[in-house]
Amino acid sequence: METTAPEPRPTVGLAIVNGLITAFFLAAGVFLVLRGWPAVIEGFGMRDWREGAGWVVEARMPEIVRERTDYKSKAFYTLELVYDYEAAGRTYRGERTGLFPDTAQWQPAKAFVRSHPTGTALRVWHDPRNPARSILDPSIGAGTWFMAIAGLPLMVGGGVGLVGVARTARLVLRKP
C-alpha cells in the first residue's frame, strides 16, 4: 500500500513575509488612490469654470526642503504666485497655480520667478458660483492620472493578497 506524504505546511516566517508584502501593496494603493482621485474629481469639476484676465502681484520661491549628503547640499523650493483677477465686477486675489503645489530646485525656481515679474498678464480660471476660488492651470496632469489609476491595481492586488495571507495564517495555526 502506498502512503502519501503529508502536504507541506507554510512556516510562520512565510506568513509574516506574505503579510508584509500584502500590507505594502495595499498601503501603496490606498495612498495613491487617496492622493490622485480627489484631484481628478476636482479637475473635472473645474470644467465649467470661467476664464478671465489676471496679473501677477508677486512671485516667490520659499525653500521647503534641504537635503544634505556628505559631499553636497540640495534644496527644493515651492513655487508661489500671487495674482489678482477680475470676476463678477470685482477684483479678487488668488494663489493657486495648479491642482498640486509646484516644487523645483534652484535654477528652475529662479527661472519661474524671473518669468513672472509684477504686472505680467495671466489667464485665470475662476468658479462662477464662487468667484473667490481660482486657479491658473485647471488641467489634470499625467502624474495625477498615474497616481489615480496605478493605485487601483495595487489596492486590488493587496486585497487579493489579504485572502492569501488569511489562508496561510490558517494553515500555520492549524494543528497537525
Residue 5: the pLDDT is 67
Residue 39: its H or E element: helix 12-45
User: Can you give the pLDDT at residue 78?
Assistant: 86
Alpha carbons within 13 A on the beta-carbon side of 122: 30
Asked whether residue 1 is domain-assigned, the answer is: no
Other Cβ atoms closer than 10 A to 165: 20
Please give the single-letter amino acid code of residue 91: T
Range of the domain at 96: 50-137
What's the CA gap between 162 and 88, in Å, rounded? 53
Predicted confidence at residue 47, as pLDDT, reads 92
Residue 2 lies in a domain: no
Identify whether residues 35 and 112 lie together within a single domain.
Answer: no
| 59 & 84 share domain | yes
- How many domains does one find in the chain? 2
Max Cα-Cα span within the chain: 95
Question: Which residues make Cβ contacts (< 8 Å) with residue 142, sequence separation at least 6?
Answer: none
DSSP state of 9: P
Check whether residue 148 and residue 131 sit in a common domain. no
Shared domain check, 129 and 157: no
pLDDT tens sequence for the chain (176 residues): 577 766 777 777 887 888 899 999 999 999 999 999 999 999 999 999 999 999 999 998 888 877 776 667 778 888 899 999 999 899 999 999 998 887 778 888 889 889 999 999 999 999 999 999 999 999 999 989 999 999 999 999 999 998 888 888 888 777 66
* Co-location of 72 and 21 in the same domain: no
| Residue 4, domain member (yes or no) | no
Which pLDDT score, from 0 to 100, does residue 16 have? Answer: 86
Residue with cell 508584509: 20
Please check whether residues 41 and 57 belong to one and the same domain: no
* pLDDT for position 63: 82
Whether residue 103 is found in the same domain as residue 43:
no
Give me the pLDDT at residue 166, please: 86
Residue 133 maps to a domain: yes
Residues 132 and 159 occupy one common structural domain: no
What pLDDT is recorded for position 45?
93
Strands 121-126 and 102-104: unpaired
Same domain, residue pair 59 and 43: no
Q: Which residues contact 19 (CB under 8 A, 6 or more apart)?
A: 165, 169
CB 77, CB 65: distance < 8 Å:
no
Residues 160 and 174 in one domain: yes
What pLDDT was estimated at residue 1?
A: 59
Hey, how many other C-beta atoms are within 10 angstroms of the C-beta on 120?
Answer: 14
Residue 3 domain flag: no
